[in-house]
A and B are shown apart, each in its own frame.
Chain A
Amino acid sequence: AQKVTQAQTEISVVEKEDVTLDCVYETRDTTYYLFWYKQPPSGELVFLIRRNSFDEQNEISGRYSWNFQKSTSSFNFTITASQVVDSAVYFCALSEALKDTGRRALTFGSGTRLQVQP
Protein backbone atom coordinates (compact mmCIF):
# COMPACT_ATOMS: atom_id res chain seq x y z
CA ALA A 1 0.00 0.00 0.00
CA GLN A 2 1.17 3.46 -0.72
CA LYS A 3 1.61 6.02 1.98
CA VAL A 4 2.47 9.68 2.21
CA THR A 5 3.75 11.22 5.43
CA GLN A 6 3.85 14.89 6.20
CA ALA A 7 5.26 14.92 9.70
CA GLN A 8 4.88 18.66 10.20
CA THR A 9 1.31 19.34 11.25
CA GLU A 10 1.70 23.09 11.52
CA ILE A 11 4.48 25.56 10.84
CA SER A 12 4.50 29.23 11.76
CA VAL A 13 7.01 31.64 10.27
CA VAL A 14 7.43 35.34 9.98
CA GLU A 15 7.14 36.96 6.59
CA LYS A 16 10.31 36.80 4.46
CA GLU A 17 11.57 33.68 6.21
CA ASP A 18 12.29 30.58 4.15
CA VAL A 19 10.32 27.49 5.04
CA THR A 20 10.58 23.85 3.97
CA LEU A 21 7.66 21.46 4.05
CA ASP A 22 8.64 17.81 4.28
CA CYS A 23 7.07 14.91 2.43
CA VAL A 24 8.11 11.27 2.68
CA TYR A 25 6.39 8.58 0.65
CA GLU A 26 6.26 4.81 0.44
CA THR A 27 5.55 2.86 -2.71
CA ARG A 28 6.49 -0.42 -4.34
CA ASP A 29 5.98 0.89 -7.82
CA THR A 30 8.87 1.93 -9.99
CA THR A 31 6.62 4.30 -11.88
CA TYR A 32 4.75 6.82 -9.80
CA TYR A 33 3.95 10.50 -9.64
CA LEU A 34 4.26 13.00 -6.86
CA PHE A 35 2.25 16.17 -6.44
CA TRP A 36 1.99 19.18 -4.21
CA TYR A 37 -1.29 21.00 -3.73
CA LYS A 38 -2.13 24.14 -1.82
CA GLN A 39 -5.45 24.53 -0.01
CA PRO A 40 -6.20 28.11 0.97
CA PRO A 41 -9.00 28.91 3.43
CA SER A 42 -11.50 28.91 0.56
CA GLY A 43 -11.09 25.13 0.42
CA GLU A 44 -10.20 24.66 -3.22
CA LEU A 45 -7.08 22.60 -3.85
CA VAL A 46 -4.63 24.36 -6.12
CA PHE A 47 -2.15 22.32 -8.11
CA LEU A 48 1.48 23.35 -7.61
CA ILE A 49 3.67 20.69 -9.16
CA ARG A 50 3.77 17.17 -10.60
CA ARG A 51 6.87 15.02 -10.70
CA ASN A 52 7.34 11.55 -12.16
CA SER A 53 9.57 8.97 -10.55
CA PHE A 54 12.11 9.07 -13.37
CA ASP A 55 12.78 12.76 -13.11
CA GLU A 56 14.83 13.62 -10.06
CA GLN A 57 15.80 17.04 -11.27
CA ASN A 58 14.92 19.69 -8.75
CA GLU A 59 12.56 22.38 -9.87
CA ILE A 60 12.26 26.06 -9.11
CA SER A 61 9.26 28.21 -9.87
CA GLY A 62 9.61 31.72 -8.57
CA ARG A 63 9.77 31.55 -4.79
CA TYR A 64 8.85 27.85 -4.82
CA SER A 65 11.32 25.00 -5.18
CA TRP A 66 11.07 21.26 -4.87
CA ASN A 67 13.72 18.73 -3.91
CA PHE A 68 12.98 15.18 -5.04
CA GLN A 69 15.27 12.48 -3.67
CA LYS A 70 14.40 8.88 -4.52
CA SER A 71 17.16 7.57 -2.25
CA THR A 72 15.31 8.91 0.78
CA SER A 73 11.79 8.74 -0.75
CA SER A 74 11.31 12.42 -0.10
CA PHE A 75 9.78 15.24 -2.06
CA ASN A 76 10.26 18.41 -0.05
CA PHE A 77 8.86 21.82 -0.85
CA THR A 78 10.60 25.09 -0.01
CA ILE A 79 9.10 28.55 -0.07
CA THR A 80 11.69 31.29 -0.17
CA ALA A 81 10.93 34.69 1.32
CA SER A 82 7.50 33.62 2.51
CA GLN A 83 4.53 35.97 2.26
CA VAL A 84 1.27 36.19 4.16
CA VAL A 85 -0.55 34.97 1.04
CA ASP A 86 1.35 31.69 1.33
CA SER A 87 -0.67 30.85 4.44
CA ALA A 88 -2.57 27.69 3.60
CA VAL A 89 -2.57 23.95 4.08
CA TYR A 90 -0.16 22.19 1.77
CA PHE A 91 -0.67 18.60 0.70
CA CYS A 92 1.78 16.20 -0.80
CA ALA A 93 0.24 13.40 -2.85
CA LEU A 94 1.34 10.20 -4.54
CA SER A 95 -0.20 8.56 -7.56
CA GLU A 96 0.56 4.94 -8.27
CA ALA A 97 -1.24 2.02 -9.85
CA LEU A 98 -3.98 0.39 -7.83
CA LYS A 99 -3.37 -3.34 -7.41
CA ASP A 100 -6.72 -4.61 -8.62
CA THR A 101 -7.43 -2.29 -11.50
CA GLY A 102 -4.01 -1.06 -12.52
CA ARG A 103 -5.46 2.40 -12.60
CA ARG A 104 -4.27 5.24 -10.49
CA ALA A 105 -5.58 7.36 -7.70
CA LEU A 106 -4.07 10.04 -5.54
CA THR A 107 -3.07 9.27 -1.97
CA PHE A 108 -2.68 12.45 0.03
CA GLY A 109 -0.57 13.18 3.07
CA SER A 110 -2.26 14.67 6.11
CA GLY A 111 -1.18 18.16 5.14
CA THR A 112 0.95 20.86 6.72
CA ARG A 113 -0.71 24.07 7.83
CA LEU A 114 1.58 27.00 7.12
CA GLN A 115 0.97 30.27 8.93
CA VAL A 116 2.97 33.23 7.72
CA GLN A 117 2.84 36.11 10.18
CA PRO A 118 3.32 39.66 8.95
Chain B
Amino acid sequence: DIQMTQSPSSLSASVGDRVTITCQASQDISNFLNWYQQKPGQAPKLLIYDASNLETGVPSRFSGRGSGTEFTFIISTLQPEDIATYYCQHHDSLPITFGQGTRLGIK
Protein backbone atom coordinates (compact mmCIF):
# COMPACT_ATOMS: atom_id res chain seq x y z
CA ASP B 1 0.00 0.00 0.00
CA ILE B 2 1.10 3.56 -0.68
CA GLN B 3 1.66 5.53 2.52
CA MET B 4 0.85 9.23 2.60
CA THR B 5 2.72 11.31 5.16
CA GLN B 6 1.43 14.79 5.90
CA SER B 7 3.25 17.50 7.78
CA PRO B 8 2.78 19.20 10.06
CA SER B 9 0.12 17.27 11.98
CA SER B 10 -1.12 20.55 13.42
CA LEU B 11 -0.37 24.22 13.11
CA SER B 12 -1.60 27.59 14.24
CA ALA B 13 -1.49 30.69 12.09
CA SER B 14 -2.85 34.19 12.07
CA VAL B 15 -5.55 35.54 9.79
CA GLY B 16 -3.86 36.75 6.64
CA ASP B 17 -0.91 34.36 6.92
CA ARG B 18 0.28 32.09 4.15
CA VAL B 19 -0.15 28.45 5.21
CA THR B 20 1.69 25.50 3.67
CA ILE B 21 1.00 21.80 4.21
CA THR B 22 3.09 19.07 2.64
CA CYS B 23 2.24 15.51 1.71
CA GLN B 24 4.78 12.87 0.81
CA ALA B 25 3.89 9.62 -0.95
CA SER B 26 5.87 6.44 -0.28
CA GLN B 27 6.20 5.92 -4.05
CA ASP B 28 5.64 7.82 -7.28
CA ILE B 29 1.94 8.64 -7.69
CA SER B 30 2.31 11.04 -10.65
CA ASN B 31 -0.30 13.75 -10.04
CA PHE B 32 -2.98 11.42 -8.63
CA LEU B 33 -3.49 13.42 -5.46
CA ASN B 34 -6.49 15.21 -3.97
CA TRP B 35 -6.78 17.64 -1.05
CA TYR B 36 -9.85 17.81 1.23
CA GLN B 37 -11.02 20.14 3.96
CA GLN B 38 -13.05 18.76 6.85
CA LYS B 39 -14.73 20.87 9.48
CA PRO B 40 -15.99 19.32 12.75
CA GLY B 41 -19.17 17.32 12.28
CA GLN B 42 -19.07 17.70 8.51
CA ALA B 43 -18.16 15.53 5.56
CA PRO B 44 -14.88 16.13 3.75
CA LYS B 45 -15.00 18.73 1.00
CA LEU B 46 -12.84 18.40 -2.11
CA LEU B 47 -10.64 21.46 -2.66
CA ILE B 48 -7.94 20.36 -5.10
CA TYR B 49 -7.94 17.38 -7.46
CA ASP B 50 -5.10 15.86 -9.45
CA ALA B 51 -2.52 17.82 -7.46
CA SER B 52 -3.17 21.30 -8.79
CA ASN B 53 -6.71 21.65 -10.11
CA LEU B 54 -9.04 23.85 -8.11
CA GLU B 55 -12.48 22.31 -7.63
CA THR B 56 -15.36 24.43 -8.93
CA GLY B 57 -16.55 26.98 -6.40
CA VAL B 58 -13.47 26.76 -4.17
CA PRO B 59 -11.83 30.13 -3.40
CA SER B 60 -8.67 30.91 -5.32
CA ARG B 61 -6.65 31.39 -2.11
CA PHE B 62 -6.38 27.58 -2.07
CA SER B 63 -3.83 25.98 -4.38
CA GLY B 64 -1.83 22.80 -4.79
CA ARG B 65 1.30 21.74 -6.58
CA GLY B 66 3.67 18.84 -6.92
CA SER B 67 4.08 15.53 -8.66
CA GLY B 68 5.77 12.21 -8.07
CA THR B 69 6.19 11.90 -4.31
CA GLU B 70 6.19 15.49 -3.02
CA PHE B 71 3.09 17.66 -2.85
CA THR B 72 2.23 21.02 -1.35
CA PHE B 73 -1.09 22.58 -0.38
CA ILE B 74 -1.17 26.34 0.13
CA ILE B 75 -3.63 28.81 1.58
CA SER B 76 -2.34 32.16 0.35
CA THR B 77 -4.19 34.35 2.85
CA LEU B 78 -5.70 32.52 5.82
CA GLN B 79 -9.32 33.36 6.62
CA PRO B 80 -11.19 32.53 9.85
CA GLU B 81 -13.46 30.11 7.99
CA ASP B 82 -10.45 28.04 6.91
CA ILE B 83 -10.13 26.52 10.37
CA ALA B 84 -10.43 22.81 9.70
CA THR B 85 -8.49 19.59 9.24
CA TYR B 86 -6.94 19.06 5.82
CA TYR B 87 -6.24 15.68 4.24
CA CYS B 88 -4.31 14.59 1.20
CA GLN B 89 -5.44 11.44 -0.62
CA HIS B 90 -3.82 9.50 -3.44
CA HIS B 91 -5.67 7.61 -6.17
CA ASP B 92 -2.76 6.10 -8.05
CA SER B 93 -3.72 2.54 -7.16
CA LEU B 94 -5.84 0.58 -4.72
CA PRO B 95 -6.17 0.84 -1.85
CA ILE B 96 -6.74 4.57 -1.88
CA THR B 97 -5.11 6.04 1.21
CA PHE B 98 -5.28 9.37 3.01
CA GLY B 99 -2.70 11.32 4.90
CA GLN B 100 -3.17 11.46 8.68
CA GLY B 101 -4.51 15.01 8.47
CA THR B 102 -3.31 18.49 9.42
CA ARG B 103 -5.34 20.33 12.02
CA LEU B 104 -5.24 24.06 11.30
CA GLY B 105 -6.04 26.56 14.05
CA ILE B 106 -6.02 30.30 14.47
CA LYS B 107 -3.42 32.01 16.67
Co-complex (A, B): no
